[in-house]
């Protein structure tokens, strides 16, 4: 049940009697102190319509609003504060969670419609660095949130498997490559060759020409170039798959840039047929003056197509293949202009569904305040970070709970979870400074803290073993710490909806931390297993908390161990 909606509806009902229609929900606030109430409404937003002082409006509303689930409505200055009936609402919230289990908070707004999500998209023949983590985990969390909201997510890994860099790599391999070394450590060796190419090219610029020549041969279908390219691609995918398995992430499509090679000419032709192409300095562009935007470059003066051409072809293919209701592109903020241009070109092509396409930008993963660079070899490998996190988790388990069953599996869940949560707890547009120490901290607002809270609560339930004959006195929910926890649990659906609307998993991450902190305060203040009439209700509240924490973690891509 949407408890915030109860208050919104109650206010609307009174305002209608006053002949006032006003959007209310966005103005509701959480009071600074829990004793003041569960929600507060600032009446100054009605002063203009009612031509009355806000404190007088507050008094009128407070005296007029009545609802069986609202225990107290109080006017304090210009605010109306609302306090729910703790026992009644607490019983309803907890029993709804226990009955719904992992489906608590499900929203049916998607009606099963498909949402394509372009995420991860690493470059073939380059290592999977920390710089690729953001798109991967943000995109995966958004897919989970979309599914929770009733959509059918389609996760697309638009691999960077085409471009001039492959000509450079082929030339580097022919100059300095060793087949046995590449077979032994494909990504590491290919990266070494790629870095060496750029180091040597600074001394001998002719190498760049040779790299471009080999890419031209690749485009023309040269057998040697194609064989090497396919080999580099296959070896890269094997390496990437190890990382995706560690992260617990699967994809519905691995169609990358190369897939669209034969689909770009029809797009160029369609643009020409619709009189949208113009020549500019020998290149072909689509003008976007009406959007105050630079033109979108479709073909270079030498006839080569560009990323824009490819992304237009991909958009048209995906609409035909999936008939998406929304298309999300989880790509760094530096590509914002590119996607604005793509969407605007599609609008000019008279595709009404262009309005359903969204670029989901995010900040950079920085190292020492600078962007990580593959070309200069300044990068941190994600697989190494994940393995180090798992080893650290293993050490924690050995020191704290050496007899734990499934130690290896739990260490993997905790270590990987620490890395994922370190990213997702941040507002996605913020840059993140890479810090192994911060990422692998097992205290504070971290993934391991949430996982440990879940394991602790499950342990209480194992000890408590709620029996059918246990009395269920919901007077237990009058307790301040219990109500603080319940009032958070009831907001789960609200948080999911907001995360969906903002395309931002950090709201779920922060909310789950709040729930865990409220539970630990409750655990520290109340003797949950005390043999009294309220024991059964307390255990129900603990179980409801585990369901919400586990589901919050799942939406973010983390596992919730039963024991730690």
Domain membership of residue 562 (yes or no) is: no
**Within this chain, do residues 154 and 209 fall inside the same structural domain, yes or no?**
yes
Residues 6+ apart with CB under 8 A from 163: 215, 257
Last residue of a domain, one of 349, 371, 393: 371
**Within this chain, do residues 277 and 149 fall inside the same structural domain, yes or no?**
yes
What is the three-class DSSP state of 541? helix
Q: How many helical (H) and strand (E) elements, i.e. helices and strands, does the chain have?
A: 21, 13
Q: What span, in angstroms and rounded, lies between the C-alpha atoms of 410 and 537?
A: 30
Confidence at residue 466, expressed as pLDDT on a 0 to 100 scale:
67
What phi and psi, each to the nearest 5 degrees, are found at residue 308? -60, -45
Neighbours of 6 (CB within 10 A): 18
Report the b/e string of 354-393 with b at 16+ CB within 10 A: bebbebbbbbbbbbeeeebebeeeebbbbbebbeebbebb
Query: What would the pLDDT profile of 32-47 be if each residue is shown by its tens digit?
Result: 888 889 999 999 999 9
Q: What span, in angstroms and rounded, lies between the C-alpha atoms of 262 and 264?
A: 6
Domain membership of residue 69 (yes or no) is: yes
**Within this chain, do residues 431 and 504 fall inside the same structural domain, yes or no?**
yes
Confidence at residue 373, expressed as pLDDT on a 0 to 100 scale:
55
Domain membership of residue 64 (yes or no) is: yes
Q: Are 519 and 545 in contact (CB under 8 A)?
A: yes
Confidence at residue 184, expressed as pLDDT on a 0 to 100 scale:
87
Could you tell me which residues are beta bridge partners of residue 283?
280
- Ranges of H-type helices in 101-251: 133-148, 164-176, 179-184, 186-203, 206-219, 223-247
**Within this chain, do residues 361 and 411 fall inside the same structural domain, yes or no?**
no
**Within this chain, do residues 179 and 152 fall inside the same structural domain, yes or no?**
yes
Sign of CA dihedral 39, 44, 47, 48: negative
DSSP structure class, residue 68: T
**Within this chain, do residues 64 and 172 fall inside the same structural domain, yes or no?**
no
**Within this chain, do residues 502 and 366 fall inside the same structural domain, yes or no?**
no
**Within this chain, do residues 402 and 514 fall inside the same structural domain, yes or no?**
yes
Confidence at residue 472, expressed as pLDDT on a 0 to 100 scale:
81
**Within this chain, do residues 347 and 426 fall inside the same structural domain, yes or no?**
no
Q: What is the CATH number of the domain that holds 21?
A: 3.30.1360.70
Which residue, 68, 72, 91, 75, is CA-closest to 83? 72
pTM here is 0.92
Domain membership of residue 100 (yes or no) is: no
Please state whether beta strands 357-359 and 326-329 pair in parallel, antiparallel, or not at all (unpaired): parallel
**Within this chain, do residues 280 and 182 fall inside the same structural domain, yes or no?**
yes
Determine the structural domain holding residue 424 and report its residue range. Answer: 384-556
Domain membership of residue 96 (yes or no) is: no
Domain membership of residue 98 (yes or no) is: no
Q: What is the CATH number of the domain that holds 545?
A: 1.10.730.10
The count of structural domains within the chain is 3
Query: What would the pLDDT profile of 312-356 be if each residue is shown by its tens digit?
Result: 999 999 999 999 999 999 999 999 999 999 999 999 999 999 999
Domain membership of residue 563 (yes or no) is: no
Report the b/e string of 516-528 with b at 16+ CB within 10 A: bbbbbebbeebeb
Q: What span, in angstroms and rounded, lies between the C-alpha atoms of 169 and 161?
A: 12
Last residue of a domain, one of 84, 102, 127: 84
Helix or strand (DSSP H, E) at 266: helix 264-273
Last residue of a domain, one of 29, 63, 84: 84
Low-confidence ranges of the chain (pLDDT < 70): 303-305, 372-380, 436, 439-440, 442, 466-471
**Within this chain, do residues 422 and 367 fall inside the same structural domain, yes or no?**
no
Domain membership of residue 500 (yes or no) is: yes
**Within this chain, do residues 293 and 396 fall inside the same structural domain, yes or no?**
no
Q: What is the CATH number of the domain that holds 242?
A: 3.40.50.620
Place of tokens 């660095």: 129
Place of tokens 């562009």: 285
Helix or strand (DSSP H, E) at 535: helix 535-556
C-alpha triplet 320, 323, 325: angle, nearest 5°: 145
Confidence at residue 467, expressed as pLDDT on a 0 to 100 scale:
63
């Amino acid at each position: 049940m949407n408890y915030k909606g109860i208050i919104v509806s109650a206010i609307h009902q009174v305002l209608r009697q006053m002949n006032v229609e006003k959007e209310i929900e966005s103005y509701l606030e959480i009071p600074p102190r829990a004793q003041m109430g569960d929600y507060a409404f600032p009446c100054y937003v009605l002063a203009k319509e009612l031509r009355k002082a806000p404190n007088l409006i507050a008094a009128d509303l407070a005296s007029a609003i009545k609802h069986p689930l609202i225990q107290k409505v109080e006017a304090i200055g210009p605010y109306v504060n609302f306090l729910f009936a703790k026992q009644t609402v607490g019983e309803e919230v907890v029993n709804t969670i226990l009955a719904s289990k992992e489906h608590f908070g499900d929203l049916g707004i998607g009606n099963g419609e498909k949402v394509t999500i372009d995420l991860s998209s690493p470059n073939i023949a380059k290592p999977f660095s920390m710089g690729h983590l953001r798109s991967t985990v943000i995109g995966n969390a958004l897919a989970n949130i979309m599914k929770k909201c009733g959509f059918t997510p389609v996760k697309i890994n638009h691999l960077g498997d085409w471009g001039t860099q492959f000509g450079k790599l082929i030339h580097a391999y022919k100059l300095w490559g060793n087949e046995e070394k590449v077979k032994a450590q494909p990504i590491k060796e290919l990266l070494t060759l790629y870095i060496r190419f750029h180091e040597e090219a600074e001394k001998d610029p002719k190498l760049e020409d040779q790299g471009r020549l080999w890419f031209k041969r690749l485009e023309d279908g040269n057998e040697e170039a194609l064989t090497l390219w396919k080999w580099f691609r296959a070896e890269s995918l094997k390496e990437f798959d190890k990382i995706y398995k560690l992260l617990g992430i699967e994809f519905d499509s691995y169609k990358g840039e190369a897939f669209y090679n034969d689909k770009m000419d029809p797009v160029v032709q369609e643009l020409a047929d619709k009189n949208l192409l113009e020549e500019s300095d020998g290149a072909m562009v689509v003008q976007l003056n009406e959007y105050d935007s630079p033109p979108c470059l479709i073909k270079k003066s030498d006839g080569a197509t560009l990323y824009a051409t490819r992304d237009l072809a991909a958009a048209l293919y995906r609409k035909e293949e999936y008939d998406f209701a929304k298309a999300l592109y989880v790509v760094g903020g530096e590509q914002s202009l590119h996607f604005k241009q793509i969407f605007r070109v599609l609008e000019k092509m008279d595709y009404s569904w262009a309005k359903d396409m969204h670029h989901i930008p995010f900040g950079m993963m920085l190292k020492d305040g600078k962007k990580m660079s593959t070309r200069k070899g300044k990068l941190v490998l994600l697989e190494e970070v994940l393995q180090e996190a798992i080893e650290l988790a293993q050490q924690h388990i050995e020191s704290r709970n050496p007899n734990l069953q499934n130690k290896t599996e739990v260490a993997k869940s905790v270590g990987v979870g620490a890395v994922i949560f370190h990213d997702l707890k941040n507002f996605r547009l913020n840059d993140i400074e890479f810090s192994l120490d911060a990422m692998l901290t097992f205290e504070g607002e971290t993934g391991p803290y949430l996982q440990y809270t879940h394991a602790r609560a499950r342990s209480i339930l194992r000890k408590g073993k709620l029996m059918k004959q246990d009395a269920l006195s919901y007077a237990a929910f009058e307790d301040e710490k219990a109500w603080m926890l319940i009032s958070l649990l009831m907001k789960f659906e609200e948080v999911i909806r907001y995360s969906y609307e903002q395309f931002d998993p950090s709201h779920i991450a922060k909310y789950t931390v709040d729930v865990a902190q409220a539970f630990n305060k409750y655990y520290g203040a109340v003797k949950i297993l005390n043999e009294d009439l309220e024991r059964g209700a307390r255990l129900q509240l603990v179980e409801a908390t585990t369901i919400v924490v586990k589901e919050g973690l799942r939406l973010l891509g983390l596992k919730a161990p039963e024991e730690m």
